[in-house]
Amino acid sequence: MSKIFGFGETVPGYEVPVLNEREVRAAAGILLLFAMMTFANAWFLGNFRPTRVFVIAFLIDFTIRIFINPKYSPSMILGRFAVRHQAPEWTGAPQKRFAWAIGWGLALAMLWLIVINNVIGPINMLVCATCLTLMFFESAFGICIGCKIYNAISSRRAQHCAGGVCEVFTPHASQKVGAGGTAIVVMFLALIVVVARQVLPATDAVAAVVPMAAASGGDDRCTPPAFAVAMGHAEKWKLHNNCK
């Protein structure tokens, strides 16, 4: 029974159970991908069914992680497969369990709101945005926000954090951003703003002209092709081609 139920691996040289950070980040990335897909369906198409399915799947996955064993979590299995040729990076399991408990609580809230009670509103967006933020930081940067909360409220400090952030660490010179790096990012963003201001007005003008031409019968660009009509995508095709 002990081989089925457990949390973390016992690895020589580590005082606490540990998890492979590479698997954890891969699993977070997989969940983030499907979360963004369902979020886009709800936001752009008003179709909340994929979101409801994802909430149930997410809750089952995290229930397995927390209450049975992370090694049997479907997303962790997929993450393990994805990084199977990479050397493991061991991180402390206790803080991860706390962080995942936050995700599990958010999933419970979404189950109650959108699956059971069919509530559509700002509270859903807030909970979804929180989940997406947590998964994005985990998968993209290896930053476990829940682990930082664990350190802030727990009397026992987290050990063996990803990137060695729990231990005393002196950054290498190449890791420092500095004034030059900051200036580059600021200049890049300023350039994008300038480009956007120069390009978007012209795009808006075209969008205003095309529907008028279509209405007068002088332009067939706004006639959806047969494949779009066949798949029920006619109105969205018009939207994507500036015809609405």
Query: For the segment 205-226, what is each residue's pLDDT rounded down to a tens digit?
Result: 444 444 444 444 445 667 888 8
Same domain, 115 and 210: no
Environment class of residue 106 by beta-carbon count within 10 Å: exposed (0-12), middle (13-18) or buried (19+)?
A: buried
Residues 50 and 163 in one domain: yes
For the range 163-168, what are the long-range contacts, defined as Cβ-Cβ under 8 Å and sequence gap of 24 or more? 166/92
209 and 106 housed in the same domain: no
Which comes out higher in pLDDT, residue 85 or 225?
85
Whether 5 is in a domain gets the answer no
The mean pLDDT of 126-143, rounded to a whole number, is: 88
Is there a single domain that holds both residue 152 and residue 231?
no
| 166 exposure class (CB count in 10 Å sphere: 0-12, 13-18, 19+) | middle
Q: Is residue 3 in some structural domain? A: no
* Residue 4 domain flag: no
Instruction: Choose one of 169, 199, 221: the last residue of a domain.
Output: 169
Is residue 44 one of the residues assigned to a domain? yes
Q: What is the pTM of this model?
A: 0.70
Q: How far is Cα 226 from Cα 64, in angstroms, rounded to an integer?
A: 46
pLDDT tens digits, one per residue of 59-74:
999 999 999 999 899 9
Domain's final residue, options 150, 169, 188:
169
| Structural domains of the chain, count | 2
E-state strands within the chain: 18-20, 90-92
Q: Is residue 75 in some structural domain?
A: yes
90-105 per-position pLDDT tens digit: 988 888 999 999 999 9
Q: Which of 169, 188, 204 is the last residue of a domain?
A: 169
Residues 40 and 91 both lie in one domain = yes
Residues 144 and 37 in one domain: yes
Q: 198 and 224 in one domain? A: yes
Structural domain contains residue 8? no
- Tens of pLDDT, residues 152-177: 777 676 666 666 556 655 666 776 77
User: Are 88 and 208 contained in the same domain?
Assistant: no
Give the structural domain span for 210.
Answer: 178-240
